[in-house]
Each structure stands twice: as structure tokens, then as C-alpha cells.
Amino acid sequence: MRWKVGLVCASDSGSRGEREDTSAQVIRELVEEELFGELVDYQVVPDETQDIMAAMIEMMDYYQADLIFTTGGIGMMPRDVTPEATLKVIERQTPGFPEAMRYAMMRKSGAGMLNRATAGIRGKTLIINLPGTPEGVHECLSAILDQLPRALRALTGRGGDHLL
């Protein structure tokens, strides 16, 4: 069985059609080739808490996504609100994923500590915030990709009771 994956790109300029989301292709490739997942929904929304939340909730409730990635909006700019939107949607945090991503980023540059990404669970869906650049997405996903199947099996009940 393939994992159902949703993707939310938080970008004011992208939502207006002024900028192409180049991170989406990196995610698509890694999801299909490494995670054996299927992208079931993809939305580009403005950097607005309510819009980001609505996109995630739709992916969970309508598409029954097992995993949702967000891209963009995790920095320190005033309009970067993706972590706040995620925290309003999730029921439980999973701090290991953003910690691993920040560690991987900081090995290359101290700027990795400016990454405010979060991750968590709502129902049986795992949500993970990723950077908005293809390089950042690749670096962060590479840091956590090997543990995603284990997490998804545990979360969805498709892998036994004890996976840790």
C-alpha cells in the first residue's frame, strides 16, 4: 500500500502566480522514489495562518493523507507563520523530525538554527514543515526520510505495536 501524501506550499508570491514552487518537484521525486508514496493533493496558499490550516485540514479530512509536508514560511520574517498554523492543527508534537532537520542544516551553516519548523500528529496524519527552497527541502528530507516509513506504520497501525 502506498502512502498518501499532501503538499502545502506557503507563499504569497506563489499563490498569486508570480513565483513557481520549485521545491514541489524535489518532494514529488523523493516521495515517489524513496517513500513509495503518492501525492494526493498539492496546494499553493498565501502566508496566512487560516489558509495554511484550511489546506492541511482538507488534505487530512477529504484526501485522508497519511503525511503532509509544508514548504515555506518557517523562517523569521514577519509573514512566516507556517509553524504557528501547524501547531494550531496538530494534537501532538513530534520534535525529533525538526531537530534532525535543523541538525543536518547546521552541519553546513549556522543559519540552520533560524529554521523554526515543527512537526506533529493530528489523528493518523503526520505533518512536517520543510524549507521553501529545493536545496533546503532535499537536505531536510534526506535527514528524516529513513524514519518516515516507521513513523507512518506506527501512526496508521500498519506496522505492529512496537516500532521504537
pLDDT digits (tens, 9 = 90+) for 12-47: 887 888 888 888 888 988 888 888 999 999 999 999
pLDDT digits (tens, 9 = 90+) for 133-163: 999 999 999 999 999 999 999 999 987 555 5
Q: Are 120 and 87 in contact (CB under 8 A)?
A: yes
How confident is the model at residue 85, as a pLDDT?
98
Q: Where do the domains of the chain lie, and which CATH numbers do they carry?
A: 3-156 (3.40.980.10)
pLDDT digits (tens, 9 = 90+) for 77-123: 999 999 999 999 999 999 999 999 999 999 998 888 999 999 999 99
The grid cell for 119 is 512537526
Q: 95 burial class (0-12, 13-18, 19+ CB within 10 angstroms)? A: exposed
Q: Tally Cβ neighbours within 10 Å of residue 57.
A: 14
**Which is it for the CA torsion 35, 38, 44, 48, positive or negative?**
negative
The model's pTM: 0.94
